[in-house]
Each structure stands twice: as C-alpha cells, then as structure tokens.
Amino acid sequence: MFQDRLQSLLIPALQQAFKALFGHDLDPKAFAFQSTRPEFEGDVTINVFPFLKVSGKGPEPTAQAVGEYLQAHLEVVECFNVVKGFLNIRIADSYWLDFLREAGQQDLLQFPTTGKKVMVEYASPNTNKPLHLGHMRNIFLGHSVSRILESAGNEVVRVQVINDRGIHICKSMVAWQHFGAGATPESSGLKGDKLVGKYYVEFDRVYKKEIEALIASGKSKDDAEKEAPILLEAQAMLLKWEANDPDVRALWSKMNGWCFDGFNATYDRMGVAFDKLYYESQTYVLGKNDVLEGLKKGVFYEKDGAVWVDNSKEGLDEKVLLRSDGTSVYMTQDIGTAIKRFEEYPGLSQLIYTVGNEQDYHFKVLFIILKKLGFSWADELHHLSYGMVDLPSGKMKSREGTVVDADDLMEEVVQEARASGEQLSKLDDFSEPEKSALFEMIGLAAVKYYLLKVDPKKRMLFDPAASIDLQGHTGPFIQYTYARIKSLLRKVEGMGTWSPEHVPQWALLPEERAVLKHLHQFPHVLHESASKLDPALMANHTYELVKAYNGFYQSVPVMKEEDGSKKNFRLALSMAVGQMTKKAMWCLGIEVPERM
C-alpha cells in the first residue's frame, strides 16, 4: 500500500487508537483516507463505518473517541470534528511547514527504484498515411505513461510496431505507380508520409469510381467491391510482395522509407522517441511455431485443417490462429511478438499496449491465449485502452482524406498561440527566434495537455481554439503560471531559500494551506497515475495546484510583505510550486517556458 508522508504518521496512531480504545489490532491496509470536503473544516477525513463491529459503538461515538485519542497522542493533529460517521482532522501548521522544507530538499515526484522493467508500446502507425489526431492521443498517452512510470521508479522501455506491410500499403503503391509520375518528396515538396498518404486517398477515389462503373454495368455492389480492377491489382501486388518480387520489394522499401522520414520529423517535433522499433514485415512470421506447439500440447485444436482456440469458458468465442493453408492471422503474430519481447528483455515485469478501445476484444483474447500457453508473465500484460478523438466538424476517415493531419494540427495551434501572444503585446523584448520557440512550446503544450487531461477511456472532442486559452483549463495556463513564478523569483534572486530558522510564528493563511495541501498530494497522485496508467490524474492535479497558487498570488502580498520571515516563506512556497509544476509537466511530456 502506498503511504504518503502524512499517512505514515496517521496509520500507526490509528492502530494504537483501536488497540487502546477497543482492544483490536487492525491491519494498516484497513484505513482509507480522503481529502476533507470543502464545506467542512479539516484536511483529512476517515470513514469509521467499516470499524463499527470493532468498536461496538455507533458511528459518531466511534469517530469522537478516535478523534480524541489522535488529538491527545499525535502532535500533528490540531483539532477534529465529526460529521455522522466521518472523522475530519485538521493538521497542524507545523506539519505543513516541515513538509515545505522537505519539498525544497528533494524531488517529490521521483520515487526510489522499484527494480521493475516495464515496456510501453505506443504510436504504431501504418506506412500508408501521415500521423493524424487519433495517433496524437495514442502517442502522447503512451509517452506520458512511460514518463510517469519512470518517475515512479521503474526502468522503462519505449517501443512501437510499424505496420509496414499488407494490402493498405499496396494500395498506396499501386496508386503511385499509376498517378505519381515519379513524384518524390523532393520533387513534390511534400513530407514523405504526406506524399504516400496522398496516393492512398487517390486509390480510394479511383476504387469508388470503378465500383460505380461496375454497378452500372449490372454487377451487384458486393461483386463490384471485390472485382474493381485497382483492388485486384493491389491484391496481386501483395502476393508478389510475399513472394519477394524484387521490383515490388524495391518500390515498397522506397515508399516506406519516405514514410519513416516523415514520421521521424513529426516525432522530433512532438518530443517523442523510442528505444526499440518492431516492423510488421519482420514480426508477421512470428507465432506460428508457438501455435503449433500449443496444438501439440492440446491447448488448441484442429478443425477443417485450421488451428483454433476455444475461449468459451472465459466467456469469449472460438478464434482461428492458423488458417487451413498454414498462413497466420494478426493474433498469431501478436502471440509471437509478445514472446519475443520477453526473450529480448530478460526481467521484463510488465508489457503495456497503448491501443484504441476498438481493439479491447483482441487483447482480451491475446492475454488469455498467452496464459493458456503457460507464460507466467501473461498476468502482467495490460491494454491501455483509450477512446476516439472527434473534432467539432465530426468523425475522421483516412481513406477519404478527412483526417486531421498531426503536422497540420500542431502548426495550427502554434499559429493560434502566436496570434494570441502577439495580441497581448508582452513580448517586445523577445527576439524573433525566441518568439518562435515560445509559440512552439505553447502550441505543443496546448495539444498535449488537452488530449491528456481527459480520462483515457473516454471518447473526447478536441477543440483547437479552446486548447490555447490562457485563462482556461489548459496547458498554456499552467505554463503561464510557471513563467509568473520564475519572473517573481528573478526579482528576488537569492531570497527564495528557506532554512529552519525561517519557521514563521504565525498561523498559515487559508490560501497558503490550500497550496501546500496540493503540493503534499502530488506523490500520491503520481503513484495513482502510475498504478492506473492514467496521466489525466496528473494533468488535472497540476491544474488544481496552479489554480490554487494563482488564488494565493492574487490574495496574499508576496513582494509587498515587510516581514522578512513571511516573505521568505512565501518565496519558498512559490519556488516549490514552480519546481513541482515543471516536473509534473515533464511527466506529461510538456515543456514549460522561463518567461512568457
């Protein structure tokens, strides 16, 4: 069980209280804590209803007795109140001040090493089109989870599978052969992935036209879709690819190379990198021997020459793993790739797949199969499932060219940031390169934060204009608060340090306590984000921290404070908020500017 600094004091005291008051030894895991609701006085709330059998009393007498014991025996408990069966505890100012000292001495968002090695798979694009908005949610989610896990003390391996084979690739290749006229990224002025994607869209346009013509000639819709000449040509090309036809392989290699270059340029702008790349053109042959071995052991069964798995006991369907002609399906190669990864990375503790929720069923089946094959690590496989992203204009379709290109969207939001920044006219002392770097940082923060602040499981609507709002629940708002803190500290350079003799002898103001409490919760938030693989928890808590700080900054004089001890304390508080904000945003894959 994760215990934060305060829990480590409260839990032993609560165990002593129940032993002394009611004669029972309780497991430390029995106690659950929550933040006291704003309408009640207190910092920490304990629900005593689960302990009524132990106490033999009603909820209010139980809570009253425990509260009195804690106040008498634990210095950090200043006072308490009881609301029905809920014990609300107010923590003494001295605790929060000691915590601030600790926060100034160590990184609260860097946990001790766990010794665990975790692999996170994300991105995994097809090499027939550029990255789009849906990829962006995948990439930023996977990248952020990898950083959160790293901060939580794990060794992280970042990987992606590049889907560089299949009929979709051949469609782009056929269209380029027919309509490309030898175009290259250099001759066309297009990024390589955009050039390839252009011919994927062109294929679909011609394909639909041919279907219409076949239907007009008397074919049924189903027959027309199967017999369109350009589709037959793509299917024939795929067979040639599988037969290692040198001309097809050369074209495939060339066009995939264009895509790889385009992807890498986009990844560089996103600030994303990988430790290992897997190519489907290599991994698609994996898994066949593992399936045949499972057949020998009776894990799978044969029907009509094909190899099947029966998952009916698990509430799922039967699934073919090898076709009757001996060829693999996607499940087969995923089985083989998972096994290969655990062989390549000895000691791997967990494997996380960042894939959209339309593949929920696929991963349920995959994990069950690997468990049936006897791999103990199958219990440590996790599907980080996420919902689709929509735009105000509606759903996107790659084939029809209606997707929102990742490069275009990043550029649009960066330009929104430029327009907003120049309108505020606060950048007169910035050089043009400095302005460009700042707008790039703000624009990328806008996109990343907007996509990460929503629970990954939820489908979401992305609004580019709203994402850039400096006054809203946005990445730029957090960046602006960080820059405000840095500006404040630059004005009093050298005064932001705080040592024990600076302990103030006054009561903390509500605004100061609010900021300290948000700072204090961060280690718990990091732990929850890591265990639930949910960056939204980190994103939203960071916003609540900077919102509390802005309330403090606007209500409490910092620079005008004449009491040197108070002023130093408030500067130290500001410094801690800045440090925590910067590290939290790093966990989200977002940079923060020193000035705005």
pLDDT tens digits for range 500-511: 445 566 789 999
Residue 37's pLDDT band, with cuts at 50, 70 and 90, is very high
> In the prediction, which pLDDT does 1 show?
44
* Class of residue 208 by CB neighbours under 10 A (exposed 0-12, middle 13-18, buried 19+): middle
- 6-20, 207-221, 336-350, 400-414: segment of lowest average pLDDT: 400-414
- Tell me 310's DSSP state: E
State the angle between helix axes of 246-270 and 167-179 in degrees (0 to 180), rounded to the nearest 10: 100
Mean pLDDT estimate for the chain: 92
pLDDT at 45 over 90: yes
* 538-592 pLDDT per residue, tens: 999 999 999 999 999 999 988 888 887 888 889 889 999 999 999 999 999 999 9
What's the token pair of residue 185?
């990224």
User: What is the residue extent of each domain of the chain?
Assistant: 7-91, 166-274, 406-587
Helix (H) or strand (E) holding 432: helix 432-452
Angle at 30 between CA 24 and CA 36, to 5 degrees: 115
> In the prediction, which pLDDT does 330 show?
92
Query: Does domain 7-91 bear CATH number 2.60.120.200?
Result: no
Give the fold, CATH level 3, of 406-587. Isoleucyl-tRNA Synthetase; Domain 1 (1.10.730)
What's the token pair of residue 518?
């948000």
pLDDT at 167 over 60: yes
Residues 6+ apart with CB under 8 A from 284: 165, 328, 333
Give the separation between CA 418 and CA 439, rounded to whole angstroms. 6
- Tell me 132's DSSP state: B
Answer for the pair 90, 132: CB distance below 8 angstroms, yes or no.
no
Give the separation between CA 140 and CA 449, rounded to whole angstroms. 9
Answer for the pair 134, 396: CB distance below 8 angstroms, yes or no.
yes
* 261-311 pLDDT per residue, tens: 999 999 999 999 999 999 999 999 999 999 999 999 999 999 999 999 999
Answer for the pair 541, 518: CB distance below 8 angstroms, yes or no.
yes
Residue 493's pLDDT band, with cuts at 50, 70 and 90, is confident
Matching CATH topology for 7-91 and 406-587?
no
Residues 6+ apart with CB under 8 A from 279: 161, 162, 164
> In the prediction, which pLDDT does 404 show?
83
What's the token pair of residue 82?
């009881």
Residues 6+ apart with CB under 8 A from 204: 171, 399, 400, 401
Nearest to 353 by CA among 78, 122, 113: 122
* 383-431 pLDDT per residue, tens: 999 999 987 765 444 444 456 899 999 999 999 899 888 877 678 788 9
Instruction: Work out the average pLDDT over 111-124.
Output: 95
* Paired residues of 391 in beta bridges: 394
Alpha-carbon distances, residue 371 vs 90, 291, 307, 420 (angstroms): 49, 13, 17, 54
Alpha-carbon distances, residue 377 vs 30, 148, 291 (angstroms): 29, 22, 18
Give the separation between CA 161 and CA 511, rounded to whole angstroms. 48
326: left (phi over 0), alpha (psi -120 to 50) or beta: left
3-state secondary structure 213-266: HHHHCCCCHHHHHHHCHHHHHHHHHHHHHHCCCHHHHHHHHHHHHHHHHHHHHH
Indicate the pTM of the whole model: 0.92
Residue 464's pLDDT band, with cuts at 50, 70 and 90, is confident
